Amino acid sequence: MWISTSRLLAYLYGLVFAVGGLAASDADTDFTSVRSQFVKNYSGTGPSEPGEKYFQESSFHYHYDGRFANEPLSDKETPPHLSQLIRTYLSTMADLGAETWIMHGTLLAWWWNQKIFPWDNDIDVQISEPTIHFLDEYYNMTEHHFDIPGLNGGRTYLLEINPNYVFRSMDDKMNVIDARWIDTSSGLFIDITAVRPDDERRKDGDTGALMCKDGHTFDENDIFPLRNSHFEDFPVKVPFEYVKLLEEEYGSQSLTATEFDDHHFNEETLVWDSASKRKRSSRRRSAVDLPVRTTPLKYKLE
């Protein structure tokens, strides 16, 4: 009996060691090939029809979640809320090991001075398809609390995944936003879209074709490898061909025109001054002003 038990233990130990060695040596294995069970169908052949619109914007402004606010912030309040919104998002994704990068108008703002446009109230980021699978399975509807400098009690942010993201088609026009990072104190949110292989274009031989449900299409070489930079004084990743992507989306003048939305770009201070008042107020912040997470990442995989 003692011999058979020891042999069994040795066998089990060898099996665990072998599996662990396989995982360590095959770190680049495709996401779906190492998961035998899934909470949702990630094959792209799940629901035959998209569901009804999941995310509901507020009645008073389409960049606010009405569950958390009854009115928009003032022009003075909005920029610092947005700054903490993107900082806490980037901090959380870094803690979780979830790769993300800025895109669209947020990328254009980065191009100018690595700050949010003073007239903006919208932030756009992207993630890969395997990343949204990961966030959905382990972090959907999790709340993350941060101490905010100068704010008593800090703020709580909600990561919410649209369940319709498993429908991988641009035909789902009601659910083009795959997830949101929401400031529960104001209702402001970050739109998160997943970048996926474009199956139709790849069938025609475009092996690097990518797409989002919001209608944007890319090539793998346009986005990857991601570049490291800073935005709102926080580490951030940007697409590799950022100039090409910005010119395609907004035109070449968007990278040179210094007058926009009643603002003028000050070449000396690198700040967008109000054209009507010509205020010279810098929005630069130091590292000591960064938000500090107070919610332990108890959801994190060991």
Model confidence pLDDT, tens digit, residues 171-218: 999 999 999 999 999 999 999 999 999 999 999 999 999 999 999 999
- Mean pLDDT value of segment 281-297: 60
Please tell me the predicted confidence (pLDDT) of residue 297.
67
| pLDDT for residue 116 is more than 70 | yes
Comparing 42-46, 176-180, 187-191, 267-271, which segment has the lowest mean pLDDT? 42-46
Local confidence band at 290 (pLDDT 50, 70, 90 cut-offs): confident
Local confidence band at 40 (pLDDT 50, 70, 90 cut-offs): very low
Per the prediction, the chain carries an average pLDDT of: 83
Local confidence band at 19 (pLDDT 50, 70, 90 cut-offs): very low
Please tell me the predicted confidence (pLDDT) of residue 293.
78
Local confidence band at 165 (pLDDT 50, 70, 90 cut-offs): very high
Please tell me the predicted confidence (pLDDT) of residue 276.
67
| pLDDT for residue 268 is more than 70 | yes
* Residue 167 DSSP label: S
- Mean pLDDT value of segment 61-67: 93
Please tell me the predicted confidence (pLDDT) of residue 84.
97
Best-predicted range by mean pLDDT (66-75, 166-175, 187-196): 187-196
| pLDDT for residue 42 is more than 50 | no
Please tell me the predicted confidence (pLDDT) of residue 294.
79
